[in-house]
Amino acid sequence: MTSLSNRIALVTGASRGIGRAVALELARRGAHVIALARTQGALEELDDEIRKLGGEATLVPCDLADHEAIDRLGAAIHERWGRLDILVGNAGLLGVLSPLGHIDPKEWDKVMSVNVTANWRLIRSLDPLLQRSDAGRVVFMSSGASTRAEPRAYWGLYATTKAALDMIARSYAAETKNITNIRVSMFNPGPLRTAMRAKAMPGEDPMTLKTPEDAAPAIAALCAPDWNETGKLYDFPQGKLLSFRDPA
């Protein structure tokens, strides 16, 4: 298990599901976790668990749809630590599963705001701090929805946001490659036993799925200073790194 001792790590969507498991895994490896989500009570429970592991966390109750709060977060991290070593951009919304023509514009804007724009705003706010790390590591949570050859009907909103997020991650990787110590990864969890998956697939038996705790070590590996790939997608179901290709 790679040590992340003294690394400063921001995890968005840390109140439950994949983000919570990642926050615990990073803390277990010695990172100081800055845990962000809207639900303060769940963040406090996470804090208790991190303390039990002998770790430390800073809680950030925040709605990522409030983009100016993301700028304030960057300023606060700068003030306290002067750098950021790890960003896990995990928070996301499923949004409504519906024909594109039936989606309420407010719903469209809300999901785009959290899944896409907030992640760009995180880069905008935190890039100078990641540059000040000796090994800035960034992981964004992708999805099979954005990469599958046959898009699923009615998943258009969610899939569009994940495709946009992939391109934000790949563009950031291209911008930082060779000239900085930053490495950017995308992670496809595949189906994991979380609230989002249960909402998407209500008929599925959750006990047939892998858990966020199963996936967390693979995500933590992408956060380690010795991880040197950038602009690639780690596919958890296949357990391997994938490169993007030009269309045939």
Q: How far is the CB of 248 from ligand NAP (least distance, A)?
A: 26
Closest to ligand NAP by CB, 180 vs 211, is: 211
Q: Which of 154, 158, 172, 234 is catalytic?
A: 158
Closest to ligand NAP by CB, 63 vs 180, is: 63
Burial class (CB in 10 A: 0-12, 13-18, 19+), 136: buried
Residue 158 designated active-site: yes
Encoded tokens for 135: 């090994």
Instruction: Strands of the chain (E only): list them.
Output: 8-12, 32-37, 56-61, 86-89, 137-141, 183-188, 232-235, 240-242
Q: How many residues does the chain have?
A: 248
Tell me the residue number closest to ligand NAP, measured at CB: 17
Q: How far is the CB of 49 from ligand NAP (least distance, A)?
A: 14
CA 211, distance to chain mean position in Å, is: 16
What number of CA atoms fall less than 13 Å from residue 207's CA on the CB side?
Answer: 0
Burial class (CB in 10 A: 0-12, 13-18, 19+), 219: buried
Residues at the contact surface with ligand NAP, assessed by CB under 6 A: 12-13, 15-19, 37-39, 42, 63-65, 90-93, 114, 141, 143, 189, 191-192, 194-197
Closest to ligand NAP by CB, 189 vs 225, is: 189
Closest to ligand NAP by CB, 51 vs 199, is: 199
Q: How far is the CB of 68 from ligand NAP (least distance, A)?
A: 13
What residues act catalytically? Answer: 158
